[in-house]
Amino acid sequence: MEVTDNPPDAVNKFVTVGLQCSPSMTNAATQTDVYKSDAAVQWSADVDYSVKKDHTYTGKYEIELGKPVQEDDVDNSQDLFLSDDELSEQSQPQYSHCDPEYIASSSEFSQSTQGSQASTNTHKENRLFLVFEEQLNQLLQRCLKCGSLIVQEEVKELKNEGSQLTLELTCANSCSYRWQSQPTLSGTKGTGNLLLTASVFFSGIHFAKFERFCSNMNLKTISEDTYTSLRKKFVFPVIEKMWIKEQSTVLTNMKSQEVVELCGDGRCDSPGHSAKYCTYTFLDAQSEKVVDFKVISCTQVSSSNTMEIKGFKDALKTIEENGVKVSTISTDRHPQIIKEMRVSNPEKHHEFDPWHVAKGVSKKLATEAKRRECEGLGQWIPSIINHFWWSAQTCEGNAEVLKEKWISVIHHVTNRHDWPGNRHYHQCAHEPLDETDQRRKLWLKPGSEAHNALVKVVKHKRLLKDLDHLTKCIHTTKLEV
């Protein structure tokens, strides 16, 4: 198979199938009954039945031992490794030039048939095996054209083929041809080189580790330069094409939605204020699919601190230009994004990710619990965070209900489970605690240092203000992962 007009299109199936790693049988039309093959090539006649059974395939042609091979029984399709001149020679009867002691076995007819159709089989129908050179030499003892013995002294191996093994073979009858261990693909020196490139890239491993792995077991593989070249020439164009196709489908589906809720978050290539790149991504909360992302370089903005807000603006602009009407956006508590939503997008509801808020509350409580005077507060932190999530999930979009439920935790930790004065939430939602549960809990004493520290964190002005942006409880967990 040659890729000439549009390499990314032709190689797309190789990149995709190479990641599935699911073995599938070869086309049955190209197979023969292996257990009926030449015993000298396959196995002895008295081999155990179970072994034969495990290696039996159903084929279109049955070539039995001792039965003359008919001309119609052999597929005369073009061989992958033969030139046009060699094909014309092969089409003529060559039995007069063959080794008189050589008798073609059915397995070699099967091998010829399978090899001739290797270029037409899809990659999904081929399995890959780890073959040792010593074992491979046993299969390359005779010429594939006339059956004469291969002159081992004249076997030449072509270098710089990556994972592919290419041999120049010459037999005793002066037949010369080239044998390759992989199907040909223009610009790759073997399909396996492209599959290795795609597999290493999509697996997320560094090429240096993969190269060291191959070196440890003396496995013939591609170089880093070949990996970089094939990745740029084939893998990246296929990824871009598939991304554009998928993004178009996602945007089309979102246009028909009356309520569109997006989750946004930015990620820098390094922590701190020295980041060089920032990737800002928007996720559709309903379908949980990525809608768009932007990669921002620090050279595009005044400082690395402003990369995230630029990525936010550019990505949101692209989504809205495609006809999507965004109603709600959930982000972290980035100050610049909060201002952008308040000033430039007042018609959109701005939600905060509950996970980020809960993480901030947990850190503050952990800091307070380290003080000697606040002994006993630390064991309540997991329960307090769970209560925070429960409050956000059960507020039904009402910010006042959310605040009253959240603040009620300062009463619960003191073994007080009902209180007057609130408009919506007057008592704990859990079942009444029996005496055993009450004795087991290490309640905080009202007015103690630990309780006062908890009240300080729970009733912090900024936290209570942020609760107004948690009423829909749209978290960005999928995007974070």
| Cβ neighbours of residue 395 closer than 8 Å, sequence gap 6 or more | 401, 402, 405, 470, 471, 473
Report if pTM > 0.85.
no
**Sign, Cα dihedral of 222, 225, 228, 229:** negative
Q: What is the pLDDT of residue 351?
A: 93
State the Cα–Cα distance between residues 406 and 421, nearest whole angstrom: 15
Q: What is the pLDDT of residue 126?
A: 80
Angstrom distances, CA of residue 125 to CA of 83, 120, 196, 212 = 25, 10, 17, 30
Tokens representing 59 are 């084929």
Q: What is the pLDDT of residue 65?
A: 37
Contact present, 291 and 275 (Cβ < 8 Å): no
Mean pLDDT of successive 10-residue segments in the chain (481 residues)? 44 46 38 36 38 38 38 41 45 43 45 46 70 90 90 90 92 91 88 94 94 95 94 95 94 91 92 87 92 94 92 95 94 93 94 92 94 89 94 92 93 88 85 82 89 94 93 84 77
Task: Give the count of alpha carbons within 13 A of 306, CB side only.
Answer: 6
Tokens representing 49 are 């039945």
Contact present, 163 and 191 (Cβ < 8 Å): no
What φ, ψ does residue 333 adopt, rounded to 5°? Answer: -90, 50
Rounded (10°) CA dihedral 177, 183, 185, 190: -80
Contact present, 360 and 436 (Cβ < 8 Å): no
Tokens representing 391 are 């409050």
Choose among 4, 19, 481, 476: nearest CA to 242: 19
State the Cα–Cα distance between residues 308 and 334, nearest whole angstrom: 9
Q: What is the pLDDT of residue 109?
A: 41
Q: What is the pLDDT of residue 420?
A: 82
In DSSP notation, 427-466 reads B-SSPPP-HHHHHHS-PPPTTSHHHHHHHHHHT-HHHHHH
Each as own residue / partner, the long-range contacts of residues 377-380 (CB below 8 Å, 24 or more positions apart, any chain) are 377/444, 377/450, 377/453, 377/454, 379/442, 380/413, 380/444, 380/454
Angstrom distances, CA of residue 57 to CA of 48, 178, 296, 420 = 17, 29, 55, 80
Contact present, 353 and 377 (Cβ < 8 Å): no
State the Cα–Cα distance between residues 273 and 299, nearest whole angstrom: 14
State the Cα–Cα distance between residues 176 and 155, nearest whole angstrom: 10
Q: What is the pLDDT of residue 145?
A: 87
The arrangement of secondary structure in 257-352, i.e. its CATH architecture, is 2-Layer Sandwich (3.30)
Angstrom distances, CA of residue 275 to CA of 101, 310, 314, 338 = 73, 14, 19, 21
* DSSP β-bridge partners for residue 351: 330
How many residues are there in the chain? Answer: 481
Domain coordinates of the chain in residue numbers?
27-119, 257-352, 355-476
Query: Can you say whether residue 141 is alpha, beta or left, with left for phi > 0 and alpha for psi between -120 and 50 degrees?
Result: alpha
State the Cα–Cα distance between residues 402 and 391, nearest whole angstrom: 6
Q: What is the pLDDT of residue 12?
A: 56
**Cα–chain center distance at 164:** 26
